Amino acid sequence: MPQEMHIKPERARQLLENLKYVADQVAAANKSQRQIRLIAVSKLHPASTILALHNPASLDPSSLPASVPPAHFHFGENYLQELQQKADILPKTIRWHFIGGLQSNKARPLAESVESLWCVSSVDSAKKADGLEKGRRALVERLASEKDEKSGEEDKEKTDLDKLRVHVQVNTSGEAAKSGVEPADTAALCRHIRDNCPHLQLLGLMTIGAIARSQSAKDGEENADFVCLRETRDRVAQELGVPEGELELSMGMSADFEEAIRQGSGEVRVGSTIFGQRPPKGEAKVLDDVEEGKD
């Protein structure tokens, strides 16, 4: 392991405990025993923290409880360059989720450069979908030609790249500053992806939602953003002629993931409850400093 990926045993232990705590809360809120994917949102945290959760067996045994915890696979990132750097140095077995605001001109490089990209959750225009489609196609073709050059049979699985999964991000709160497609325009974008983007697979819909709504929902009301996303999903399913269950909902973050699960979420994206507070963007580092004279 590179020295910059070293992690203090106390920090590793705390991360593993936090992840277990959140996973237990997810299971407790999940009364109907659905499959719920937990994304550990690692943006602005160093690669060493991701490796600790993905490969606990690699840690100093003093970081670990009596039995080695299971590997965590799904991690979420918001910034293209940071994701590229992390994907480069971390194991290819990690399933990366791009959940941040996506610029149209970054869609293609994102899909083309990150082989282990598992899902992009912030698609809110046909232009971004088309960029991802072009990038994924280019990646598939590049891997196929690399395989031809080697013409090795044993290399076959390398080209069996999945389609790139996507969520369409919906602006459920009506705030002008929020990204996301309007609920009324969501079905058209979903149809565009299904009909024109053969290298993409539409997994479902995603929302971030307004903080105020997640707070008022604490007083026993349903969160209006989550209601809106579910209703939008039901309409999209009807317009596309697919069962509702085929389109999942990605909703819920640290502050409101339990409520989101009660309202039907199939994927929660939890950052600060697992990793703690994020450093300011300008101070974040992918690799930790190696302090002179220390181990």
Which C-beta is closer to ligand PLP: that of 41 or that of 249? 41
Chain positions contacting ligand PLP, by CB under 6 A: 41, 43, 78, 99-100, 208, 253-255, 269-272
For ligand PLP, the nearest residue by Cβ is 271
Q: How far is the CB of 289 from ligand PLP (least distance, A)?
A: 24
Which C-beta is closer to ligand PLP: that of 106 or that of 269? 269
Q: How far is the CB of 91 from ligand PLP (least distance, A)?
A: 22
Please tell me the total number of residues recorded for the chain in this structure.
Answer: 295
Which C-beta is closer to ligand PLP: that of 24 or that of 239? 24
Which C-beta is closer to ligand PLP: that of 123 or that of 270? 270
Q: How far is the CB of 26 from ligand PLP (least distance, A)?
A: 13
72 neighbors 50 (Cβ within 8 angstroms) = no
Return the structure tokens found at 275: 């990793």
Return the structure tokens found at 8: 């203090």
211 neighbors 225 (Cβ within 8 angstroms) = no
Question: The tokens 């699985």 sit on which residue?
Answer: 157
Question: The tokens 């101070």 sit on which residue?
Answer: 283
Give the separation between CA 272 and CA 27, rounded to whole angstroms. 19
Which C-beta is closer to ligand PLP: that of 140 or that of 274? 274
Q: How far is the CB of 228 from ligand PLP (least distance, A)?
A: 16
The angle that helices 186-196 and 126-150 make with each other, rounded to 10 degrees, is 20
Which C-beta is closer to ligand PLP: that of 52 or that of 140? 52
Question: The tokens 């090795």 sit on which residue?
Answer: 152
Q: How far is the CB of 12 from ligand PLP (least distance, A)?
A: 19
Q: How far is the CB of 119 from ligand PLP (least distance, A)?
A: 12
**Displacement of CA 243 from its chain's centroid (Å):** 24
Give the separation between CA 108 and CA 142, rounded to whole angstroms. 14
